[in-house]
Structures are given as C-alpha cells and as structure tokens.
Amino acid sequence: MTPLRQRMLEDMAIRNLAENTRAAYVQQVVAFARYFHRPPEVLGPEEIRAYQVYLTETRMLAPSSVSVATGALRFLYKVTLKRPWSVDEIPMPKRPFRLPVILSREEVMHFLDSVGNFKHRAILMSAYAAGLRVSEATHLKVIDIDSQRMMLRVDQGKGRKDRYVMLSPRLLDTLREYWKAARPTHWLFPGDLPDQPITRDAVGQACQKAHRASGIAKPITPHSLRHAFATHLLESGTDVRTIQILLGHRSLATTSRYLKVATTSVCATTSPFDLLPKVEPPPPTPTPPAHF
C-alpha cells in the first residue's frame, strides 16, 4: 500500500466515512491514476477535467457514477493532499431528478407472496414494513427487535445514525415464525457464514427472482419497498416530518419528493376544469347537399 493511499484511508477513517464510501473512493482514485499512468500527486485540475470528459463522453457514465469519481477526487486533493486550489475547480455533475416508480399496496402484497424462500421473504417484508434501506435490513440483529415497545432499532444507518422505527404487529408475527424455524443467534438474517449477515447481493438476487415470478411490469428492487413504504404512509395521512424521522432522512426536502408521487393527495385532487360551469357544445354544422 502506498503512503498516499494509507493517508487517504486514515483521513476517511478520522471523518468516519462509511466503509462502502471508503472503498469506492479508493477505487476511483486508483482508476484516475491508471488512466494517466502517473501518481495523483503530480496531477491537477487540467487532468481532472480531462478525466471527467473521458468518463462522460467516452465511457458515457451516468451523472451519478461521475459524481462518485468527482467526490473521491475532491476528497483526495482538498483533504489528503491539501492542494491550494479550490475544489470548485472540480465541478460536480448535475444529476437529473427522477421520481421513483411506486408499487401499489396490491403489487407489494403480490410481490411478497412471490418470494419463495422464508428468510428472503422475511427480510423483504421488513424492508417494506419499516421502510428500511437494504443495508439496514441486512444488518438487523436479534436484539434489535423490541416487542415490548413495538420498535425496531436501526443500528448505525446511513450517515452513521441510529434510529427507531415502528415494529408492525404483522411483521412481528412473521419474524417470530422465522426465528422459530431458523434460530438465528446474533444477526437476524445471517449469510452463508453464520458470523456474517446476509449480503446485499443475495437480497438483490432474491428480489429479482421474485420479481420475475410475480410478473409485475414495474421495476422492483429492495429499495422500491422503501419508496412504497413512504408513499403509502403519506397517502394514508401521515405527515411528512414523521416520515422523515422514520426514513432517517437528514433533510426534509429529500422526504418531500414523495409528495410528487402520492396519488391520493396529488392525482386525486380535483382539476379546476371539473369546476367550470358546463359549456354546451356548439350545434353541429349542417352538411351541404350533394350535387350531381
């Protein structure tokens, strides 16, 4: 390991960046250096700009992927290398705003019924019933289930924050049946290695398999269940601030995007066209007689 990589890892550890973020940033810096066949210490704004053009126009990566590379390079040159030039010289690509595709309640139920494996069904049910990210669902522990207070503890969710979410009585019944069958001791959903939780990839593959079996045309990922959770709460009258706390969003603006997909509060609103006085249609134009 080079001294620069070691120092960058230490800088990320000091700032308590998530493990996935650390791995992604290191990977991006390595790819940047390999592209120029030179160490990052001797590269600067012009090379960074050329690399962004390469990622955008040659590799045609999505803005989200370019953003990861940009974030890694900003961290490297601002924090680790402490370059005097501003990181504003490394522009962050603007991401297009896309609304999530929302499953109806009936589609969620049909999808979950299509999950054949009991453990996979239990974890996907948990994702919907509590609005969990897939990483949060996979890292649930047996002790995180508080049946006395009817709460689930989310330990170190995104942003390294703990939070509590509701424990659905229906989910509790399912988890109790699952526990009796599987007898997990530490991780609620252990992986192939008993001392490790189930992986995100395993949950994703189970989700794809159930999606194919369900025949639902809409795209479905584990995160789709979290989107459905938030939207269905909003449609049932839960206020946005409460949903923000349940989802663990830092910003209320992030949660407010669900206002755009909650059909009962948006699409069900009466159009002003329906409130206009009824206008009688104009009389039909008489057809001129035919000439021979």
Convert the pLDDT of each residue in 130-145 to its tens digit: 999 999 999 999 999 9
- Asked if 126 and 212 sit in the same domain, the reply is yes
The catalytically annotated residue of 74, 153, 223, 257 is: 223
- Asked if 142 and 74 sit in the same domain, the reply is no
- Asked if 48 and 190 sit in the same domain, the reply is no
- Asked if 22 and 137 sit in the same domain, the reply is no
**63-120 per-position pLDDT tens digit:** 989 999 999 999 999 999 999 888 777 888 887 777 788 899 999 999 999 999 999 9
Give the CA-trace dihedral at 3, 5, 10, 16, to 10 degrees: 180
What CATH number does the domain containing 9 carry?
1.10.150.130
Q: What is the pLDDT of residue 89?
A: 79
The catalytically annotated residue of 120, 139, 226, 232 is: 226
Is 110 in the active site? Answer: no
Is 258 in the active site? Answer: yes
**15-48 per-position pLDDT tens digit:** 988 888 999 999 999 999 999 999 999 999 999 9
- Asked if 168 and 224 sit in the same domain, the reply is yes
* Among 151, 153, 122, 141, residue whose Cα is nearest residue 225: 122
- Asked if 158 and 214 sit in the same domain, the reply is yes
pLDDT of 265 higher than 60: no
Is 161 in the active site? Answer: no
Q: Per-residue confidence at 277, pLDDT binned at 50, 70, 90?
A: confident
- Asked if 238 and 171 sit in the same domain, the reply is yes
- In degrees, to the nearest 5, what angle opens at C-alpha 86 toward C-alphas 84 and 87? 120
Rounded average pLDDT over 162-185:
92
- Separation CA 19–CA 52 (nearest Å): 24
Domain-ending residue, one of 37, 65, 89: 89
pLDDT of 173 higher than 90: yes
Which of 47-56, 146-155, 232-241, 283-292 has the lowest average pLDDT?
Answer: 283-292
Flag whether 282 is in a domain: no
Regarding predicted confidence, which is higher, 7 or 277? 7
The catalytically annotated residue of 22, 133, 227, 232 is: 133
Rounded average pLDDT over 207-232:
94
Q: Are 144 and 243 in contact (CB under 8 A)?
A: no
Rounded average pLDDT over 199-209:
95
- Asked if 114 and 237 sit in the same domain, the reply is yes
The catalytically annotated residue of 158, 200, 209, 257 is: 158
The catalytically annotated residue of 22, 163, 211, 249 is: 249
- Separation CA 165–CA 226 (nearest Å): 13
Flag whether 247 is in a domain: yes
Q: Per-residue confidence at 267, pLDDT binned at 50, 70, 90?
A: low
Q: Are 23 and 9 in contact (CB under 8 A)?
A: no
Q: What is the pLDDT of residue 269?
A: 58
Q: What is the pLDDT of residue 272?
A: 76
- Asked if 161 and 49 sit in the same domain, the reply is no
- Asked if 129 and 256 sit in the same domain, the reply is yes
Flag whether 27 is in a domain: yes
The catalytically annotated residue of 25, 51, 178, 258 is: 258
- Asked if 72 and 173 sit in the same domain, the reply is no
Flag whether 58 is in a domain: yes
Is 133 in the active site? Answer: yes
Give the residue numbers spanning the domain of 12.
Answer: 3-89
pLDDT of 49 higher than 80: yes
Flag whether 275 is in a domain: no
The pTM for the full model equals 0.69
pLDDT of 292 higher than 60: no
What CATH number does the domain containing 173 carry?
1.10.443.10
Is 37 in the active site? Answer: no
Rounded average pLDDT over 227-239:
87
- Asked if 67 and 189 sit in the same domain, the reply is no
Q: What is the pLDDT of residue 139?
A: 93
Flag whether 283 is in a domain: no
Domain-ending residue, one of 54, 89, 124: 89
